[in-house]
């Protein structure tokens, strides 16, 4: 576990975006596009429903606030999720989520153009399936199709999201966002502290399940991004691009991949990987003010299997992590009846990402059938069980 420091970083005061600033090239059409992007996944949330009750008026008001510089983020919602492990999630208000999409849509492409191909997560087309497939291809390449012994180094950053140094991240954003209005908007989002205005939802006792060092409230104001926002996911990639570039161009790792804060290096020599680890352990605190989690650092032969993004990559076989399969089956067997359909289909989608998943999907299908639902022949999706009313109607 990384030691928490008490030193503070000097952060620039955030500036409100304003039409008085040059290059305020922001149109109402961009806001509408951001709204549709946002509603794709958040349409039925309470804040989204309230916003859409007077959609046109609220969009115009949000646009005016952004243009005249009066926009301020609203109330966030804090809640605890317990799977796969307890963690604190901060959900921005729906209008603020729209603003996150506004910034993301406008500036993300310029950052993505400089990211290495092995940066994954929160990038279109680079999800867990892309990451697992790319790592497997790298292993096959360096091992000459599993015919040569190869080692891997797997690392994880300590307390990643809550430990991100905002001053460092601000410098990275400012280096590429040169338009004053857009930089001011990025600063408004980056330096907003959701702890100053939030609503706690769910059972308060769940907070005790989250380790103290994993809670945003226990870190200084210049540290940490709220887990749960698009902006945080995007900012995290910007932050760790420095690590990616260092590993590729300074450490000269030919086989490297990162998904959020988990990354893997491959090499024929364990000594080379140990030297790379020493270099990374110097670079992270010196440049990003970050640290590795030593309890999650693994150096071993790839033949033992690489556990990465929910998959275990072994010679000639990539499977979904056993723990994930067990959790899927147990959850489908225990959840309320009205949750089975959505949950089971979500797990079928996850398990289907592995080419060797039929036995896993069969285990899930048996659990679904026990709950009274049906499953298609390909074991890729389930169907809703007819309601008693529908069953009676079918027999009329």
Query: Cα dist. 292→85, 108, 286 in Å?
Result: 20, 27, 12
User: What does the pLDDT average to over 269-278?
Assistant: 99
Residue 205, both tokens: 């006792």
Report pLDDT for 9. 47
DSSP 244-298: HHHHHHTS--SSEEEETTEEEEEES-HHHHHHHHHHHHHHIIIIIS--B-GGG-E
**Residue 21 pLDDT greater than 60, yes or no:** no
Taking residue 282's Cβ as centre, other Cβ atoms within 10 Å add up to 10
* Two tokens, residue 81: 């999720």
- The gap from C-alpha 70 to its chain's centroid, in whole angstroms, comes to 30
Query: Alpha-carbon distance 342 to 332, whole Å?
Result: 10
Q: What is the pLDDT of residue 317?
A: 79
Tell me the C-alpha to C-alpha distance, in Å, between residue 240 and each of 121, 160, 234, 258, 356.
12, 10, 10, 9, 32
In b/e form, how buried is each residue of 245-259, taking b as 16+ CB within 10 angstroms?
ebbeeebebebbbbb
Q: Read off the DSSP letter of residue 351.
A: H
Does the structure show a pLDDT above 90 at 25? no
Dist. CA 184–CA 177, nearest whole Å: 9
Average pLDDT, integer, range 33-60: 91
Which of the pair, 386 or 304, is modelled with greater confidence? 304
**pTM, entire model:** 0.84
d(CA 46, CA 94): 9
Inter-CA distances, 197 with 200, 251, 304, Å: 10, 43, 48
Report pLDDT for 394: 40
Q: How many CB atoms lie within 10 A of CB 265?
A: 24
Q: Does residue 385 register a pLDDT over 60?
A: yes
Cα Dmax for the chain: 75
- What's the pLDDT band for 355 if we cut at 50, 70, 90? low
Q: Looking at the predicted structure, is the pLDDT value of residue 389 above 70?
A: no
User: Which one is predicted more confidently, 390 or 54?
Assistant: 54
């Amino acid at each position: 576990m990384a030691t928490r420091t008490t030193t503070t970083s000097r952060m620039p005061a955030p500036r409100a975006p304003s039409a008085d600033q040059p290059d305020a090239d922001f149109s109402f059409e961009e806001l509408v596009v951001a709204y549709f992007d946002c509603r794709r996944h958040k349409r039925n949330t309470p804040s989204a429903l309230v916003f859409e009750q007077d959609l046109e008026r609220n969009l115009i008001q949000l646009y005016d606030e952004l243009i005249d510089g009066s926009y301020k983020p609203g109330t966030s919602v804090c809640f605890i999720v317990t799977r796969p492990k307890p963690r604190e999630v901060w959900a921005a208000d729906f209008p603020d989520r729209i603003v996150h999409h506004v910034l993301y849509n406008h500036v993300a492409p310029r950052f993505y153009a400089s990211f290495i191909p092995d940066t994954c997560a929160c990038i279109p087309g680079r999800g867990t399936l892309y990451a697992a497939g790319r790592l497997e291809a790298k292993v096959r390449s360096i091992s000459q199709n599993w015919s040569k012994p190869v080692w891997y180094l797997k690392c994880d950053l300590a307390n990643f999201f809550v430990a991100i140094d905002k001053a460092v991240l601000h410098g990275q954003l400012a280096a590429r966002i040169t338009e004053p209005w857009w930089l001011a908007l990025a600063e408004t989002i980056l330096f907003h502290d959701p702890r100053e205005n939030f609503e706690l939802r769910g059972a308060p006792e769940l907070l005790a399940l989250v380790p103290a060092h994993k809670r945003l409230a226990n870190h200084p104001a210049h540290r940490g991004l709220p887990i749960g926002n698009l902006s945080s996911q995007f900012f995290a990639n910007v932050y760790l691009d420095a690590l990616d570039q260092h590993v590729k161009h300074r450490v000269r790792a030919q086989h490297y991949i990162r998904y959020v804060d988990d990354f893997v290096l491959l090499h024929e020599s364990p000594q080379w990987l140990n030297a790379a680890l020493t270099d990374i352990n110097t670079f992270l605190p010196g440049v990003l003010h970050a640290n590795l989690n030593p309890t999650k650092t693994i150096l071993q032969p790839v033949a033992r299997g690489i556990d990465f993004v929910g998959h275990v990559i072994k010679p000639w076989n990539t499977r979904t992590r056993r723990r994930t399969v067990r959790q899927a089956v147990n959850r489908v067997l225990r959840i309320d009846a009205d949750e089975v359909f959505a949950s089971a289909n979500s797990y079928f989608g996850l398990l289907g990402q592995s080419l060797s998943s039929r036995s896993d999907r069969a285990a899930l299908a048996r659990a679904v059938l026990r709950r009274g639902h049906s499953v298609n022949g390909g074991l890729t999706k389930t169907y809703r069980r007819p309601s008693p009313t529908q069953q009676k109607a079918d027999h009329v």
